[in-house]
Amino acid sequence: MHMHTKVIVTNWSALKAKYSGSLGAISEAIRALIAADRQRGVRTRFVRLDHHGDMGALGAPPVLDPTDPQENKDAIDAVCDAMSSQDPMSPHYVMLLGSNDVIPHQDLTNPLAAHDGEPHAWSDLPYACKADYGHDIDDFTAPERVVGRLPDLTGGRDASYLLGVLHVAATWRPHPRSDYAPYFALSAKRWEESTTTSLEATFGSAQHMLLSPPHGPHWSDAQIAPRSHFINCHGFAGRSYYHGHADAVGAPALTGALVEGRLTEGTVASVECCFGAELFEPASVDGQMSVCNTYLASGAYAFFGSTNTSYGPDSGNGQADLIARFFLREVLEGASVGHAALEARLRLAGMWADPGPHTRKTLAQFVLLGDPSIHAVQPAHAAKTVPAGAAAKLGAAHLDLLAGRDERRRELRVRAQALAESTRPVVKARSYRLSPPVRRTLKDLARQAGMAMDTLETFRVHPPRGREYRKAAALPAATREALHILSRDDAPEGAPARKPALLIAKEVGGRIVSYTTLRAK
């Protein structure tokens, strides 16, 4: 018999500190969500990470300090382990309830810190991984759990926002694929070619793409009405807007204030912008909540974006472009938004045998905001689900659905385990002697890109962890592989933040064999 297939975890003492007078209403909203899940054939368990009773029943340690990333990671791992001991595939979904002041993002070390000045890549990725708590992104390149975060407002004191997003999670309904075929696509003019590639891969056409400049932020109701949103603009820390210009001069491309309350119920947004999914406290800036919070408050089912500086090329697709379109494409195919986020991570991680620090940061920083069990698009197997309101009469159709979900999770787990064994660690070199040909090539590339050699940082590529994969990837003993990164600040004078440009060159056997350039979004 299948056990709980979804777990909602939160820190009750942290919520109490924010909403002491509204805990009854919050409890009722959570019960309503659990009841709605049951009507949809999903059995949900609610666990308070700080509660000795809840955690003790699972043999797990409670969280004593809600701000401690390690305590939260250890506690959520223990909850998942306890549930999987009863059913190997359980839980199918893990929902983090609350913003980063209720359950913190994990404090992964940013491998590009020397270039963009950000010590951490704030992440929910480790919650999706079985690896023990740590700071190294290399330990979390093989996610296998379906995880999403349903946030409240950071620093919030009025529970109405949290109650609103819980109501959306309880009342969502799948829509026909045709309801998500129209799209609202917004791109900075600079990335027109890159966004065209993304839209053609996702929707088959880029003819409805909107550009900023010259347009925005006063989009008409008809323009923002589509349920599929894809945004490739500039974002800035603590700002409730996205911009077409890296210097944020002139009219923004999109603002939270101008879309609030105007989105179509069920909107799903995939956003490449730097800080696109940053959960900041509205009062710390201008009183306006972040764009991602605004989307969820306005009835969006899911928002997929970055917690800090993200990267992509001027043309073609890479990094943020890839993970953003992978996510949206899976949603359009009928996957749950949580499955879509995991699939996007696995596809990005598996594209290269030696994903560099730029890929690793992208993998870490993109987070899913929303209930991970939501199917925005009617799944292809929907005909086998139990009709709404008939969960008390669970029959073979419901069991077929659960078995299918088990099979999908098993397939993802197998892929994650293969990634863990086949991916080659890329580790910062404490010292590295450049061969004369490599030094000459890097100097030429630096000169062409307007970069200084004193920004050079080198990462060694090591053999895969799995024995069989080490054999397959073996090179002659004298052959070494490395990634070399150069950078410059590409932000115009007067810009509110750094906008690094990166050049990443691959060395094999004492020669540069390839390179790519990326810019901050």
Q: For residue 106, which of 124, 92, 132 has the smallest C-alpha distance?
A: 124
Environment class of residue 189 by beta-carbon count within 10 Å: exposed (0-12), middle (13-18) or buried (19+)? middle
Cα–Cα dist 482/484, whole Å: 7
Q: What is the pLDDT of residue 492?
A: 87
Q: What DSSP element (H or E) covers 512? A: strand 511-520
Q: What DSSP element (H or E) covers 329? A: helix 320-332
Pairing, β 457-461 against β 241-243 = unpaired
Cα–Cα dist 442/15, whole Å: 52
| Class of 173-386 in CATH | alpha beta
Three-state SS at 353: coil
* Torsion angle of C-alpha atoms 61, 98, 268, 121, degrees rounded to 10: -70
Cα–Cα dist 328/323, whole Å: 9
Residue type, 145: R
Q: What is the pLDDT of residue 411?
A: 83
Cα–Cα dist 482/318, whole Å: 20
**Angle, CA of 157, 97 and 276, to the nearest 5°:** 80
Three-state SS at 506: strand
Question: Can you read off the two tokens belonging to residue 476?
Answer: 């002659």
Q: What DSSP element (H or E) covers 459? A: strand 457-461
Q: Would you say how long the chain is, in residues?
A: 521
Cβ atoms within 10 A of the Cβ of 315, count?
12
Cβ atoms within 10 A of the Cβ of 113, count?
15
Q: How many CA atoms lie within 13 A of 484 on its CB side?
A: 31
Q: Which residues, 6+ apart, have CB-to-CB distance to 173 below 8 Å?
A: 266
Cα–Cα dist 360/53, whole Å: 37
Pairing, β 106-109 against β 120-123 = antiparallel
Environment class of residue 82 by beta-carbon count within 10 Å: exposed (0-12), middle (13-18) or buried (19+)? middle
Place of tokens 């509110």: 496
Cα–Cα dist 312/340, whole Å: 20
Give the DSSP letter string of 371-389: -TT--SBPPTTGGGSPPTT
Three-state SS at 508: strand
**In whole angstroms, how far apart are CA 382 and each of 25, 41, 170, 175, 378?**
32, 12, 18, 11, 6
**Angle, CA of 110, 412 and 357, to the nearest 5°:** 20
- pTM of the entire structure? 0.93
Rounded to 10 deg, the angle between the 320-332 and 337-349 helix axes is: 140
Place of tokens 């996510």: 327
Is the CB of residue 360 less than 8 Å from the CB of residue 431?
Answer: no
Cα–Cα dist 76/391, whole Å: 28
Each residue's pLDDT tens digit in the chain (521 positions)?
455 689 999 999 999 999 999 999 999 999 999 999 999 989 999 999 999 999 999 999 899 999 999 999 999 999 999 999 888 888 999 999 999 999 999 999 999 999 999 999 999 999 999 999 999 999 999 999 999 999 999 999 999 999 999 999 999 999 999 999 999 999 999 999 999 999 999 999 999 999 999 999 999 999 999 999 999 999 999 999 999 999 998 999 999 999 999 999 999 999 999 999 999 999 887 789 999 999 999 999 999 999 999 999 999 999 999 999 999 999 999 999 999 999 999 999 999 888 999 999 999 999 999 999 999 999 875 544 444 444 444 444 444 455 577 778 788 888 888 888 888 889 999 999 999 999 999 999 999 999 999 999 999 998 887 766 666 666 665 578 999 999 999 988 888 888 999 999 999 989 999 999 999 99
Question: Where do the structural domains in the chain lie, given as residue ranges?
Answer: 173-386, 426-520
Q: What is the pLDDT of residue 3?
A: 54
232-245 residue pLDDT tens: 999 999 999 999 99
Is the CB of residue 224 less than 8 Å from the CB of residue 265?
Answer: no
Question: Can you read off the two tokens belonging to residue 449?
Answer: 């890109």
Give the DSSP letter string of 161-222: HHHHHHHHHHH---B-GGGGSSEEEEEEGGGHHHHHHHHHHHHS--TT-EEETT--S---HH
Cα–Cα dist 468/268, whole Å: 41
